[in-house]
Structure 1
Amino acid sequence: MTTSRKKKSISRYGKTHKEALQKLRAVITESAQGIPVADKTWKLADYLNYWLAEVVKPNRRPATYAQCETIVRIYLKPGLGRQTLGSLTVSEVQKFVNQLLIDGQSVPNVHVIRKVLSAALTRAERDELTSRNVARLVELPSEERKEIKPWSLAEVVRFLEVVQHHRLYAAYLMLFYGLRRGELLGLRWKDVDVANSKIRIRQQVQRVGRQIIIGPLKTVKSRRDLPLLEPVAQALASHYDRHAIKNAELIFTTAQGAPIDPGNFLRDFKRICEQNGLRVIPVHHVRHTVATLLKSRGVADRDIQLILGHSRIVTTQEIYQHDDDDSRRTALQGLAGSLLTPEPKTSQSESSGMLADAIDGRGSRQLSRQFTSPVKADATNNLGGAYRIRTDDLFHAMDKHDGVSGRLAGVDKALADCRRQWILGIVAVNLAVKNPVTPEPYDHNLAA
């Protein structure tokens, strides 16, 4: 029985009669289990065309469709397009992805290519055209994320000082709401609810190919309301008075009233950073900056997730929140403060200086003396201070104080006496067990 509930004659080929018979029996077994046979033999290239047109394009965002179409056209069709859908094996797909890596494709790119193929084969499983998704069984090197170092609070303040007279100052200020670049450029005047002090995130601007389009948000959770803060309200009012285009629906537009190209916005951001000596980060990393700064201020992860518009809180915690040297130092100093007793004499900066001198080969005697006495934290520093190990103090005290050696000798003598008594007891018990004493018979006459 086929997927369209029609009967179909099946034939299978093999190098030997036994191999062909095994394939035919496999088809009979699947038919008995209710698994239908495809109406026709699909080439992978043909099925990928069907999948793009009938599944991806009607149900996914235009940018997603554009990415999938590019990967299918450039990689999947040339590499695997001639294979039949039902006969595609794990080893064939493994060789394909291995060759991509050999040809110089990056590991993240190969992961995306495998992901697109897997999505198409998952749909083929649902259409009952194949019995398994072989792309899921392929092994790839683990994808290592590049380390992201978001801006510090000082860098954020410096950036806002630099752009305060820029035409798009309100847009750069609103970046620190944690908005995505497309969400920011897609804001409309009607999305600003002054009466209720809210900003509604409802659409985004994207570049798809050569077109700038206004489309839906990335996920359902991306649709969110954020508070309209007073500095932002003032910046938007100033932008409206100076730069708003008449009858333009969008807040941020070009001088002609058209939507701003996200790529141009990124390039302008980078240029501002370079011209003013700021550390250049991608615009998207401002979202990482917002998540990290909110975390450092003790904001709950759930609230940060809602502000950023993430579908899962794990994304917020594992990808967008970062620590830094200051947060690690604060955490460890807090732990040290709860475990050790500080002594406020030497400040942490002085201790660090002495340690640096020791590493450089200077002041080693001072450092050794310092490490034999405790150092308290500065009373004005509530984050804890520097601590010193007092291991050597015990031995110095034992040498200096009279009577300590005598007490230790007495303790050793008492322990030696106890040890001898314990050994003699064990020997006596062992001898008693090996040579038991036989009692003499009881004589009643003698007792009388």
Structure 2
Amino acid sequence: MWWSWPSPQYSQGKRRRFGSIRQLKSGRWQARYRDPSTGQLRSAEDTYATKRDAEVALTHIEADITRGQCADPEAGKVQFGDYADAWLKDRKLADRSRERHESVIRLHLLPTFGGRPLSSITTAQVRAWRTARLAAGVGEPTVVKAYQIMRAILKTAVDDELIRRNPCRVKGADRYDVPERPVLAVAEVYAVADAIAPRYRLLILLAAFTGLRFGELASLRRRDIDTTNAVLMVRRSRAEMQNGALFDKAPKSDAGVRPVAFPTELLPDVEQHLDDFAGAGRDGHVFLGPQGGRLRRSNFRDDWIKARKKAGIVTGVHLHDLRHTGNTLAASGASLRELMTRMGHSTPRAALIYQHMVNGRDREIADRLGSMIRETRGGDVAP
């Protein structure tokens, strides 16, 4: 049945005082009303399975107009791809983070949603997209990241009053269960350190016993090492762009700039490395590549894999697992705040100045790690 416009519609015997409802050839129901600001005839964004649903929707539209909250239906016609591009340009992101966002949007969001109007994207479509990505073999962490970015884009679209509701409402889609990573024993850490090229021996030991990230270790300069107090000062982290460009950048948060004590048992290794392999001058990099250039993951990875195999460490252990190992070993007797400080995570915390960290609890954490080294290595390390 086709209801002509503007013939009056009735509900429970009374003429409708706002808008009108008609049934389309498809059998679904459409709600229509006049925009009070322009007098233009508008249709609700959706059609409805029943006449009652359309009546309820029209009641909500009337209430929104009364409260001044009715969005312009034309606004939602902006295509997702165009809006995502503008959204990304407006974000304040580090170069590497911007590159990753661009890659995720281009590879995982635009093929499905790029040409769709914002208002046409539904929760069911988002759910189907997520299922298809996982079924195609895309890693769950990548799908989670893509979903998080899409949700952020559409949240901004809601704030910009282009759409009324964010369709990214898939329960559990914004997180995944991180598999338990392996923890190496102290003896295994030293087995890898002994097996790797001498220029990387100290990197292995510091990764395990300070919990520094690869980028933080790669960007260390001579002036960042205090051999008197056995402390490293983390000031920056190395990033590598997809085009191969390298640069040292400030950490993501203030918590990333921090002093980290290392076991005094490592001092002989530190001093030997500085004499044999570090760059010249106070600003010389502590760790360099095999040809004396800046250290890259790509020119370190093969050495790591070979050393791991030579040491008899099971396949699947990654360099980042040394950080996990160090944080796990340090956890004994340390408070959450102390661990978060040492790891460089952003948490509400009191300002910690260098001298307090050197003489305080972080030194105790490093000393406990040192005792583990002595127990494992015996007379092979300085007391």
Give TM-score, length-normalised by structure 1: 0.59
Q: Offset at 1:228? A: 5.2
User: 1:61, 1:126 → 2: CA distance?
Assistant: 24
Q: Offset at 1:284? A: 0.7
User: 1:15, 1:184 → 2: CA distance?
Assistant: 58
Query: Does structure 1 residue 222 correspond to structure 2 residue 256?
Result: yes
SS of structure 2 residue aligned to 1:134: coil
User: 1:192, 1:34 → 2: CA distance?
Assistant: 61
Instruction: Encode CA deviations 1:248-274: one digit per residue, 9 max, x unaligned.
Output: 542212255432112332332122111
Matches within 5 A, 1:349-364: none
Shift in CA distance, 245/138, structure 1 to aligned 2, threshold 3 Å: same
Query: Does structure 1 residue 250 correspond to structure 2 residue 285?
Result: yes
SS of structure 2 residue aligned to 1:116: helix
Query: Does structure 1 residue 42 correspond to structure 2 residue 107?
Result: no
User: 1:255, 1:226 → 2: CA distance?
Assistant: 27
Residue from 292, 307, 313 that aligns with 2:328: 292
Residue 182 of structure 1: aligned partner? 215
Residue 12 of structure 1: aligned partner? 43
Matches within 5 A, 1:250-289: 250-280=285-315, 281-289=317-325
Matches within 5 A, 1:286-365: 286-295=322-331, 297-311=332-346
Shift in CA distance, 215/36, structure 1 to aligned 2, threshold 3 Å: farther
Shift in CA distance, 244/141, structure 1 to aligned 2, threshold 3 Å: closer
User: 2:101, 2:54 → 1: CA distance?
Assistant: 37
Q: Is the 8 A contact 1:180 1:287 kept in 2?
A: yes
Instruction: Encode CA deviations 1:57-95: one digit per residue, 9 max, x unaligned.
Output: xx2222222222112111211111222213322112122
Instruction: Encode CA deviations 1:402-424: one digit per residue, 9 max, x unaligned.
Output: xxxxxxxxxxxxxxxxxxxxxxx
Shift in CA distance, 226/101, structure 1 to aligned 2, threshold 3 Å: closer
Residue 66 of structure 2: aligned partner? 32
Tell me, which stretches of 5 or more residues in structure 2 are unaligned?
1-36, 349-383
SS of structure 1 residue aligned to 2:280: coil
Q: Is the 8 A contact 2:81 2:110 kept in 1?
A: yes
SS of structure 2 residue aligned to 1:11: strand
SS of structure 2 residue aligned to 1:311: coil
- Residue identity opposite 1:274 in structure 2: K
Query: Does structure 1 residue 122 correspond to structure 2 residue 155?
Result: yes
Residue from 36, 47, 54 that aligns with 2:90: 54
SS of structure 1 residue aligned to 2:118: coil
Residue 201 of structure 1: aligned partner? 234
Q: Is the 8 A contact 1:11 1:24 kept in 2?
A: no
Q: Offset at 1:204? A: 0.6
Shift in CA distance, 50/190, structure 1 to aligned 2, threshold 3 Å: same
- Residue identity opposite 1:235 in structure 2: D
Instruction: Encode CA deviations 1:164-208: one digit per residue, 9 max, x unaligned.
Output: x71122222211210011111111222224566532111111222
CA RMSD of aligned residues (A): 3.2
SS of structure 1 residue aligned to 2:204: helix
Q: Which has the higher contact order (CA 8 A, sep 6+)?
A: 2
- Residue identity opposite 1:143 in structure 2: Y
Tell me, which stretches of 5 or more residues in structure 1 are unaligned?
1-6, 314-448
- Residue identity opposite 2:90 in structure 1: E
SS of structure 2 residue aligned to 1:75: helix
Shift in CA distance, 36/68, structure 1 to aligned 2, threshold 3 Å: farther
- How many residue pairs match? The answer is 302
User: 1:141, 1:190 → 2: CA distance?
Assistant: 41
- Residue identity opposite 1:46 in structure 2: D
SS of structure 1 residue aligned to 2:268: helix
Instruction: Encode CA deviations 1:138-179: one digit per residue, 9 max, x unaligned.
Output: 56598333232211232123333434x711222222112100
Q: Is the 8 A contact 1:107 1:141 kept in 2?
A: no
Q: Is the 8 A contact 2:193 2:205 kept in 1?
A: yes
User: 1:137, 1:199 → 2: CA distance?
Assistant: 44
Shift in CA distance, 224/15, structure 1 to aligned 2, threshold 3 Å: closer
SS of structure 1 residue aligned to 2:42: coil
User: 2:79, 2:130 → 1: CA distance?
Assistant: 19
Q: Is the 8 A contact 1:44 1:80 kept in 2?
A: yes
- Residue identity opposite 1:285 in structure 2: D
- Residue identity opposite 1:250 in structure 2: H
SS of structure 2 residue aligned to 1:168: helix
Instruction: Encode CA deviations 1:16-71: one digit per residue, 9 max, x unaligned.
Output: 9x79887676555334334363584311111111111112xxx2222222222112
Residue from 126, 134, 140 that aligns with 1:107: 140
SS of structure 1 residue aligned to 2:233: strand
The structure with more radius of gyration: 1
Q: Percent identity?
A: 24
User: 2:68, 2:93 → 1: CA distance?
Assistant: 32
SS of structure 2 residue aligned to 1:272: helix
- Residue identity opposite 2:303 in structure 1: D
Give TM-score, length-normalised by structure 2: 0.68
